[in-house]
Structures are given as C-alpha cells and as structure tokens.
A and B are shown apart, each in its own frame.
Chain A
Amino acid sequence: MTAYIVRRLLQAVPLLLGILTLVFIFMHAAPGDPTAMYMQPGVAPEVLEQMRRNWGLDQPLHIQYLKWMASFVKGDFGYSLAQSRPVASILAERIPNTLILSGTALLLIFSIGIAIGIVQAVRQYSALDNILTVSALFIYSMPSFWLGLMLILIFAYKVYSVEWWPDALRFPASGMTSVDHDLLSGWGKFIDWLRHLVLPSIALGVSSAASVARYMRSSMLEVIRQDYIRTARAKGVPERSVILKHALKNALLPIITLLGLYLPFLFSGAVLVEYVFSWPGMGRTIVDAVSQRDYPVVMATSFIFAAFVVIANLIADILYAVVDPRIRYE
C-alpha cells in the first residue's frame, strides 16, 4: 500500500506541473494585465510601464515562466501584485476558510444524501420515494450561486419580517463571523461561527447531496436483495439492524468513491458561493485575482485547488481498499 501511495504521489507531480503550465499560458494569453486596475487619469502611463518592468512582465513569456517555476519549486509562491504581500501569507489565511466550508458541505452531502438514499431504498416506489426523487432532481438542477442567493433572500431577509419565525433560524447573509464575534463567550463564538456556515454550506452541498441520495438508493437496493440480508431477516434480526448494520456497510462502498469525485465540484462551487456569501476563502481569492490579473495569486490558488483534487482522489482510492478487503493495490 505504501508503495502504491508513493507511486501515486510521484505520478501527481507531472500532472500538477502540467496544470500549472496550462494555467500560466491561459492567464497570460488572456487580454489585460495587472496594471489595468491602477489605470486612471492622473497615473501616467510611464508609471504603469515601470510597474510592469518591476513585476518582470516586460520579459519574454518563457523567461517569466522559468523564473516563476524556479521560485515555485523552491517553495516561494511569490508576491501578490494587488495586495503587495507574500502569496504564502494570503494562502495561509484563506485555505483554512475554504476547508471549513467545503468540509462542512461534504459532511452535509454525505449525511443528508445517505440518509435520504436509505429511506428511499427501504420505501421503494412509495409516495415518499417518489417525492424525494422529484425533490432530489429539482435540487440537483439548481446552480449553487443561484441557490445561494435564494437562501439569502429567504433565510437572511424574508424571515426577518415574519414575527413568529424563530430567531435561531434567521441566518446571516455573509461573512464568517458576526461583527461582535470578539465580544461573545466561547460557546457564543462557536455558535456564531456555525450560524454563518449554515447557508453557504447548504448552497454548496445540497445539490451534490441530492445526487449522493440517488447513488445511495440504487446501491442500497442492490444490497438488500442479497442472500445474506435475507438470511439476517430469516434469523429474526430486527429490520433496523438489517438495514443500518448489515446492508449499510456494503451499500456504502460505491459511495466512498464519490468522495474523490465531489471535491472538485465543491472547490469549483466554492468559487461562486464564497463570492455570494463574502466568505474569505480561496474561491473568492481566485475570483478577485483573476479579475485583477494578479498572476502569482492565480497560479498559487490554482495549484492548491489542483493539489486538493489529486489528494482527494488518492484518499478515495485508499479508502476503497480499506473498506473492501477484496481490493488490493500492488
């Protein structure tokens, strides 16, 4: 297994370098340059030209690429052109925020998706199954940013004017914490933080939860038709244990591989959701950096996203082997 992990990690190196090279080419091929954000009457064009020189943007593209790659390999992500500070410090601030949001969304995707899938499988072809199927397809079709805006309009706006609506179900529309966060007690801080997570993580995760539910339903249906389930029932094991203990474990196997598939979706979704909810994460950083043509930040954030996806896929493969003893990686 260790040899397999090492081999996969080594294989990831050329993949990541290839991704970075493509991002570099695409970013520089796009019209516009970082000085556009400073362009205004009163700033002489010579000043902008000097900035381009200072940033090394006057050099041939291949020289810029090699220089960037050389410092990147040494672990130096460079200096943000828009924020005048090391990219590493920006990443250090933003990566945890995105992981918190994506992690919560992931939890939501699998817990809700699996629960609904089980219910649908157990109650196959019932009215409940049909309603859940239609709802899942409906939710699955919603783009995350649109769903985000709708959640804001309903749970951060409309419900504020409904008097009987409980306070706990009125949510903040943006940010990670309230402005009075520092004045709250320890628990208060935690709850404040959770409340800010609710809407963005739902916006980010709920459509994937709908698809996990579909996978879970079919996987569960397949498992509960197996002989060992019939045997368990014949032995008089309560139905609850049959489903949750015997069937669930095996039905979960194909679901685990989805973990690797959903992470890329989550990160691309985070780009829009973080913007809508003013969540100070990597997604918002990359949106701002692309629009400002802040090349070093775009390169670094793309690398981190790519690395997350590669690692997530690897984890999914390893998990698959862990839960299914029939699978062996040589």
Chain B
Amino acid sequence: MSGRVRGYAAIATTAFVLLACQRAETAKTVVIAENGTVDLLLPLTFRSELETELDKLLFPGLNSARWVDGTIEHVLDDLALAERWEYGPDSTTITYDMRDDATWSDGEPITAKDVVFTYNLMLRPETGFPYGDYVALLDSVEAIEEHRVTFYFKRHHPLMLLQSGWSIVPEHVYRDHGADGKTLAAHPTVHAPATDLVVSGPFRVSEWLPAERLVLEPRERAYTGRSSLDRVVFRFVPEATTRVVELQNGSVDVINPVPTSTLTSLADDPRFQLAARGARFYDFIAWNGTRFAPFADPQVREALSLAIDRQAILEGLNVADYATPAAGPFPPIFRRLYDTTVQPDPYAPDRASAILQRLGWADNDSDGILERGSQTFRFTLLTNSGSRGLMRSAAAEIIQAQLTRVGIAVDIRLLENSTLIDYVFSDTTRQFQAAIVGWRVALNPEYVRDQFWPRDAPYNITAYESTATDSLIPLALAARTAVDAASHWRAAARKIARDRPYAFLWFYDEVVGLSNRVKNSRIDTYSVYQNLHHWRVEP
C-alpha cells in the first residue's frame, strides 16, 4: 500500500470513528424490540397482539382491565375515560360518568358523543367489526349528557364491563369516513406516518416507519399527566436471535417475547430481568377420531395421554421454569376456573400398555408396532415449524420416541404455520389424524368457550361430542355473575379432562426481557404495556 493510500485510509477511519461516536441524548428513551408489527392504528379493525396493546395507550376506553388475583377486573385508573359507573335498577344497563378534562390530541373535548359514535360503528354490520360476539349482547348506547353515557344490554351478564370498555375513537375525525369498514380503514391518519393520528391517551405517534419502527412521544396535556419518558420506540425485529443480541448489546431495553432457547442464559445474566406472563398459551394434541378410528375410543386417548411424559419434555427442552403440564382447558392462573382436582395424567407407560392390550392391541409380528386385526397403530402427527413452534417440533420428536416405547408408530409432518391452520382449523373436512397445535389462553373464558366443545362449534376440531358438556356450557353462559358461571365452567372442564378429546400438553408463559434500567413496569398475564406511561428509565 502506498503512503498516499494509507493516508486516505487513516483519514476515512478517523472520520468514521468520530462520526460513529456522535450519539444523541437518549436518556429518557425506552427502546422495545417486538416480534409483532403494526399495520393499522384503528381499534375497530382486526387487531394483532401489539396493536391491541397500543390501542389501550392511544385510545383508552371508559374503564381499564387488569389482571388481579387470577381474574380480569375492571377498574377506573388514570387511563380510564370514566370517573365512575353505576348499574341500572334491573342490572341490564351501565351508566358511566366521564371525565370532563379529557381532550383529544387536536384539542377537542372527549365526550359521550364519541362513545356513542364508536359503539354505533361496532354495532353496524357495514363496519365489519370483526369481534361481533363482543357486542352481541349490547342493545344500544345513549349519550345522556355531554359526559354521561348509558349502555343498554339485552340481559345482565358477567361481561358487561368488558364490553363497555372498548377503545373510543374521535367522532369528529371519522364521522365522514364511517360509511363502511373499508372507507374507515382508508382514513389517511391511521396509516403511516400517522403523525396526525388524533388520540386520547398519554402518548401520540411521532414517527412510524412500517416494518421498521413506531415511535411514541408523551402528550404534554394528557389527562393522565405527562409520562416521564421522552420517547418510546417500538422496533419490529422478527428474528428472535437478533432481538436477544440487541438486548445484550444494549441497543434495546425490552424484547418481547424472549425466545425459549435463550431463557436460561438471560435469566442468569444480572443485567436483565425476565417478566413471565403466566400461562398465556397452551399446546395440545388433537386426536381426530374421524380420520384415525382408534382415536374415537376414550380409552385409547387415555392410554396415549399416559404414555406421554410431559414434565420430562419440558425439562428436556429447558423450559420447565416457564411451562406447566396441562390437565384441562383452564390453567392454574385462573382463581375461579381452575379445578385443583383436575390433575395432569401421570407418565405411566405400563398402564398405557395394559389399557391397549385390554383393548386387543398387540405386537403380533414383533416389529415393535401394535396391531389389532388388520389395523396397525401408526398415525401422522402434524405440527408447525414456525418460530413459536420451535418447541412444538422438538416436542413432537420426543413424543414420537415416548409413544414408540408403548408400540405406537408416529410419523411427524412439519408444516408452515398457515398451512397447519388450514389443515386443522379452516378445512371443515378436518383431513388430519393428529396435530400438535395451541391457542392463546382466553382471559375471559366466557367469551370464547362455546366455540371449542359443543358438537357444532367452529373450533371443535376433533368432533368431540358430550351431552354433559353441551348442557353445562349454556348454563355457564347464561349465568348472571362470573362467580355463578365459574362452577359450571369447572364442571365442564372436569368432564372434558376425563373425556380427553385432546392430550392437553402444557400451559406456557410468554416471557418479556427487560434491561435493569427499565423501572416501574407492570407486566402480567393480561398485558405488557398497560402502564407504559408510568415506566421510568435510568440513564
């Protein structure tokens, strides 16, 4: 290299170093790396998990929900648009007195008219509000005074507070765009850059680069008071390893979620705290008796369940601290719904073999696989190969090995996520034999339980049929209070656990990783960012 070239190289390097070191002041910024992304900032459309969380901060509702002692409770905290509520004389109405100091970010006051406008949009079929069941029992909403609004329900039920707490949108902004869902979703402010988005909560959008980041800034005159943070940056980082590296090198303060493979190493690192969101998901094996006849027999399903060592799988996958073996549809996090008498099946391969032998299954040709008549006990187990399903594909292999020990042959087929959903859930002909799939745990079980177990329920993927369960669910749904409903739900859960239409595998936590500089966060089963406006960061 000549002296001249060396000189240029030195100058370039020095400039690069000097400029690279030029960092702006970011002391009160919190940077969050999210797996999810944001497509639309409009609460009346389909919401991803992250969008739901943002809705609560940008468009608070009349009340706020919280996870308190194993159940969702509705409260009037500093985010809620209402100051008090009262039930009507026959308990089918709720009247809210709203705060009179709350304003939209464009300075307009937030009034009962906005509430009526929002709920009318949700009730109108033209809007195409996707969570129609959510307002199915709501009759109408009426503005009594400027800051007083009444919800009329068709009957009293436990979800009245939940259903009157949806995010409220500004009437004056969307009034002329509410003809139908498509016109509403085409409103320019709900798309990037959304800096003109009219919001009511403690933050407003200051920058939104789709697929890259969304930046929130505190509103100076929000009724919640000004957040002590100067900026909250949500970065969309789909690759799990990249998210973890960015937390470890200090580029981000929070990652959501932490991939299961790195839970142990992050837990051992004193620079970080892990916040486990208890039992947010559950996995199960759906046994489809209509495509593999032996699964139609409850005794066979019991034998299969006894042949699976759930605890060993969780320990083998290094996630035992963040997952618990499952026994039925309700995880132990539910104070009212969890029945302690329903315990996971133990690992008892000998009992499993005995049951199968009693049913006539035997290895007559000594090939290690059971037969009965002309049928061999061999089936195909579907599961997905996506990022959240990493544990599933590994678990499928361990289950395959465990079932081989009792003479059952399993062929694993890994599918891409959308394909798996199509095979198992969308295609009503249910062309699968068995599948490891899972759901988010619904924190308001009343809201969705009738969609899994009744014979014609849309997500009854195993053709499960039980008159006892079918009679208990309507009783639970018709109950006036959550406490009344809980006893029926527990009875239904006991019956389902006994019938084993699924092999319930485990409930697992979603884990959020935080740098120690983040203080005052309240992350729980219900939400990650519910009190983001109260978070503090140390320099």
Interface residues of A (CB under 8 A from B): 30-33, 35-45, 47, 50-51, 54, 82-85, 89-90, 93-94, 149, 152-153, 156-157, 160, 166-168, 170, 172-177, 179-180, 182-185, 187-188, 191, 195, 275-278, 280, 284-285, 288, 291-293
- Distance between Cα atoms of A179 and B537 in the complex (Å): 16
Q: Is the CB of A180 within 8 A of B249?
A: no
CB distance from A154 to the nearest CB of B (A): 10
Q: Is the CB of B426 within 8 A of A182?
A: no
List the one stretch of B207-215, B364-372, B514-522 in contact with chain A.
Answer: B207-215
- Distance between Cα atoms of A30 and B250 in the complex (Å): 41
Q: Is the CB of B19 within 8 A of A284?
A: no
- Distance between Cα atoms of A291 and B17 in the complex (Å): 40
Extra pairs beyond A153-B241, A168-B17, A174-B246 (15, CB < 8 Å)? A31-B423, A32-B416, A32-B426, A36-B421, A43-B130, A160-B249, A167-B21, A168-B20, A179-B215, A188-B19, A275-B238, A276-B241, A278-B237, A280-B209, A280-B211
For B242, list chain A residues within 8 Å (CB).
152, 173-174, 276-278
- Distance between Cα atoms of A37 and B128 in the complex (Å): 16
- Distance between Cα atoms of A54 and B416 in the complex (Å): 26
Q: Is the CB of A291 within 8 A of B29?
A: no
Q: Is the CB of A183 within 8 A of B235?
A: no
Q: Is the CB of B185 within 8 A of A280?
A: no
Interface residues of B (CB under 8 A from A): 13, 16-17, 19-26, 29, 31, 33, 37, 39-40, 45-46, 128, 130-134, 182, 185-186, 191-192, 207, 209-213, 215, 231, 233, 235-239, 241-242, 245-246, 248-251, 416-419, 421-423, 425-427, 439-440, 442, 447-448, 451-452, 458-459
For B422, list chain A residues within 8 Å (CB).
31-33, 36
For A188, list chain B residues within 8 Å (CB).
19, 22
- Distance between Cα atoms of A89 and B17 in the complex (Å): 37
Q: Is the CB of B448 within 8 A of A153?
A: no
Contact with A47, one of B130, B238, B448 (Cβ below 8 angstroms):
B130
- Distance between Cα atoms of A284 and B213 in the complex (Å): 14
Q: List 8 A-B contacts (CB under 8 A).
A: A36-B422, A40-B439, A93-B192, A167-B17, A170-B249, A179-B235, A183-B26, A288-B238
CB distance from B430 to the nearest CB of A (A): 13
* Given A41-B451, A42-B442, A191-B16, A152:B213 Cβ within 8 A: no
Q: Is the CB of B132 within 8 A of A44?
A: yes
Q: Is the CB of B212 within 8 A of A47?
A: no
- Distance between Cα atoms of A31 and B420 in the complex (Å): 8
- Distance between Cα atoms of A88 and B83 in the complex (Å): 45
* Given A84-B185, A278-B212, A36:B418 Cβ within 8 A: yes
CB distance from A269 to the nearest CB of B (A): 15
Q: Is the CB of B209 within 8 A of A184?
A: no
CB distance from B464 to the nearest CB of A (A): 15
Contact with B442, one of A39, A41, A195, A293 (Cβ below 8 angstroms):
A41
Instruction: Select from chain B the residue with minimum beta-carbon distance to A172.
Output: B251
Contact with A293, one of B23, B238, B245, B418 (Cβ below 8 angstroms):
B418
Contact with A38, one of B26, B130, B416 (Cβ below 8 angstroms):
B130
Instruction: Select from chain A the residue with minimum beta-carbon distance to B445.
Output: A41
Contact with A156, one of B186, B207, B245 (Cβ below 8 angstroms):
B245
- Distance between Cα atoms of A33 and B422 in the complex (Å): 7
- Distance between Cα atoms of A153 and B238 in the complex (Å): 16
For A291, list chain B residues within 8 Å (CB).
416-418
Q: Is the CB of B39 within 8 A of A83?
A: yes
For A275, list chain B residues within 8 Å (CB).
238-239
Contact with B235, one of A89, A166, A175 (Cβ below 8 angstroms):
A175
For A51, list chain B residues within 8 Å (CB).
128
* Given A47-B130, A284-B211, A32:B19 Cβ within 8 A: no
* Given A83-B210, A280-B212, A168:B452 Cβ within 8 A: no
For A292, list chain B residues within 8 Å (CB).
418
For A288, list chain B residues within 8 Å (CB).
37, 211, 238
For B207, list chain A residues within 8 Å (CB).
182
Instruction: Select from chain B the residue with minimum beta-carbon distance to A35.
Output: B426
Most buried by B among A32, A39, A89, A275: A32
For B231, list chain A residues within 8 Å (CB).
179
For A183, list chain B residues within 8 Å (CB).
24-26
Q: Is the CB of A280 within 8 A of B235?
A: no
Instruction: Select from chain A the residue with minimum beta-carbon distance to B457.
Output: A41
* Given A149-B241, A179-B26, A280:B210 Cβ within 8 A: yes
For B40, list chain A residues within 8 Å (CB).
83-85
For A40, list chain B residues within 8 Å (CB).
439-440
- Distance between Cα atoms of A291 and B416 in the complex (Å): 8
CB distance from A254 to the nearest CB of B (A): 28
Q: Is the CB of B245 within 8 A of A45?
A: no
CB distance from A195 to the nearest CB of B (A): 6
CB distance from B121 to the nearest CB of A (A): 15
CB distance from A142 to the nearest CB of B (A): 16
Q: Is the CB of B213 within 8 A of A50?
A: no
For B236, list chain A residues within 8 Å (CB).
278
* Given A39-B425, A42-B133, A157:B39 Cβ within 8 A: no
For B20, list chain A residues within 8 Å (CB).
167-168, 191, 195
Most buried by A among B19, B22, B207, B442: B19
Q: Is the CB of B211 within 8 A of A285?
A: yes
Instruction: Select from chain A the residue with minimum beta-carbon distance to B212.
Output: A280
Instruction: Select from chain A the residue with minimum beta-carbon distance to B421.
Output: A36
Q: Is the CB of A168 within 8 A of B16?
A: yes
- Distance between Cα atoms of A188 and B24 in the complex (Å): 10
Q: Is the CB of B239 within 8 A of A31?
A: no
- Distance between Cα atoms of A43 and B45 in the complex (Å): 12
CB distance from B134 to the nearest CB of A (A): 7
* Given A36-B418, A84-B45, A278:B235 Cβ within 8 A: yes
Contact with A185, one of B22, B233, B439 (Cβ below 8 angstroms):
B22
